Amino acid sequence: MRVLVTGGAGFIGSNFIRHALQVHADWYITNLDKLTYAGNLENLRDIEGDSRYSFVKGDIADRQVVDSLFKENHFDVVVNFAAESHVDRSILDPAPFIDTNIKGTQVLLEAARHHGISKFVQVSTDEVYGSLGPGDPPFIEESLLQPNSPYAASKAAADMMVRAYCRTYGLPTIVTRCSNNYGPYQFPEKLIPLMITNALEDKPLPVYGDGQNVRDWIHVEDHCRAIDLVIQGGQAGEVYNIGASCEMKNLDVVRAVLGVLGKPESLITFVPDRPGHDRRYAIDATKISKELGWKPRYRLLDALPELVRWYRDNETWWRRIKAGEYKNYYEKVYSRRSASVTASPKGK
């Protein structure tokens, strides 16, 4: 099976590629990634020599790049992870979120429609549903879409375009909406890796507002297994929520990180709140569990010591990100070919 993974140099995409190559001996994966600040080929160092994997540097919103890639490869499946993914950045400047998350998704859909595919999986987010009150039931697939940040609005718009391509053109699309991920290779601007790495450096841990906002945490491996099941058995035209029923207040997450590291709570620094900050997310994952037999294997508090160990053991990885050095990896290791040509590491 020929699979196009977009955004595979990011956190979840790189974990997904590693998972898929391990589990499916007959999958050939092309990773199309623009290598924005969040794209890091060091996330895939261990598999870059795998003959079933190839990397293409390019923008999903670039019609020409996408079209020629589809023409050359005859993909069976598209999994679209590529996105601007950080809420705070969307508040500072929504424009790149429109370009990648909305226009980029439409360009991929259009190429998939013209070239033909058997499945298009749009990796979306629970943030499209907006915010819950303390006593509200978790989001179900039929919950209203009420996005509150420019990031969430751009993902909701993309979801609607994916739906429209299914209804109008019969493209076999599926949307997945997952809750907050944690795991190895997460860019240290997101809550958990930022807190772990700041604590390791004895730097302040910035907690927004009163720290009582609730997120529903899921290990990235559980998310990747869910997407894999959706590719194999998900019904076209459907939406699947993905979440591990693991709600925690931010302050409790930060305290747990400090506890594992044996660092003092005096590192916690309350800072002004994020504008439009969603109070609570919670996902009802009954549908994917019943229809596809998916179940999470991890719970945040149990997984945290191992995760902290990973960030301790991979200090060079996150220090290179914090210092900006990871950006040189593509130029250093990959040949300087044009964006429309599949790149392979030098000397391979």
Rounded Cα gap, residues 96 and 101, in angstroms: 8
CB 81 → ligand DAU: shortest distance, Å?
A: 10
CB atoms within 10 A of CB 185: 23
CB nearer to ligand NAD: pick between 82 and 207: 82
Q: Does the footprint of ligand DAU cover residue 125 (CB under 6 A)?
A: yes
Classified as helix, coil or strand, 10 is: coil
Classified as helix, coil or strand, 131 is: coil
Smallest CA-to-CA distance from 237 within 295, 290, 127, 159 is with: 159
CB 222 → ligand DAU: shortest distance, Å?
A: 14
Instruction: Say which residue the tokens 């491996």 belong to.
Output: 221
331 catalytic per annotation: no
DSSP characters over 28-91: EEEEEE---TT--GGGGGGGTT-TTEEEEE--TT-HHHHHHHHHHH--SEEEE--S---HHHHH
Query: Which residues 194-223 are close enough to bind ligand NAD by CB under 6 A?
Result: none
Rounded Cα gap, residues 173 and 160, in angstroms: 11
Query: Which residues 216-255 are close enough to bind ligand DAU by CB under 6 A?
Result: 250
Query: Which residues 165-184 are close enough to bind ligand NAD by CB under 6 A?
Result: 178, 180-181
Rounded Cα gap, residues 198 and 268, in angstroms: 10
Near ligand NAD by CB under 6 A: residue from 17, 33, 143, 194: 33
Rounded Cα gap, residues 318 and 247, in angstroms: 27
CB nearer to ligand DAU: pick between 3 and 12: 12
Tokens of 210: 């009163």
Number of residues that bind ligand DAU (CB under 6 A): 19
Among the listed ranges 36-44, 243-251, 295-303, 320-328, the one in contact with ligand NAD (CB under 6 A) is 36-44
Tokens of 343: 């790149």
**Residue 213 interacts with which of ligand NAD, ligand DAU, none, CB < 5 to 8 Å by class:** ligand DAU
Rounded Cα gap, residues 190 and 86, in angstroms: 8
CB nearer to ligand NAD: pick between 217 and 263: 217
Among the listed ranges 135-143, 186-194, 291-299, 304-312, the one in contact with ligand DAU (CB under 6 A) is 186-194
Smallest CA-to-CA distance from 94 within 155, 151, 156 is with: 151
Q: Does the footprint of ligand NAD cover residue 11 (CB under 6 A)?
A: yes
**Residue 12 interacts with which of ligand DAU, ligand NAD, none, CB < 5 to 8 Å by class:** ligand NAD
151 catalytic per annotation: yes
- For residues 123 and 178, the answer to whether their CB atoms sit within 8 Å is yes
Q: Which of 129, 151, 240, 311 is catalytic?
A: 151
Q: Does the footprint of ligand DAU cover residue 122 (CB under 6 A)?
A: no
Rounded Cα gap, residues 97 and 84, in angstroms: 6
Smallest CA-to-CA distance from 57 within 262, 336, 319, 291 is with: 336
Among the listed ranges 30-38, 268-276, 286-294, 320-328, the one in contact with ligand NAD (CB under 6 A) is 30-38
Number of residues that bind ligand NAD (CB under 6 A): 31
**Residue 208 interacts with which of ligand DAU, ligand NAD, none, CB < 5 to 8 Å by class:** ligand DAU
Rounded Cα gap, residues 3 and 79, in angstroms: 8
306 catalytic per annotation: no
CB 235 → ligand DAU: shortest distance, Å?
A: 23
- For residues 58 and 340, the answer to whether their CB atoms sit within 8 Å is yes
Q: Does the footprint of ligand DAU cover residue 191 (CB under 6 A)?
A: yes
Binding positions for ligand DAU, rule: CB under 6 A:
85-87, 125-127, 179-180, 190-191, 194, 206-208, 213, 215, 250, 274, 281
Residue ranges in contact with ligand NAD by CB under 6 A: 6-7, 9-13, 32-36, 38-39, 59-61, 81-85, 100, 104, 123, 125, 155, 178, 180-181, 187
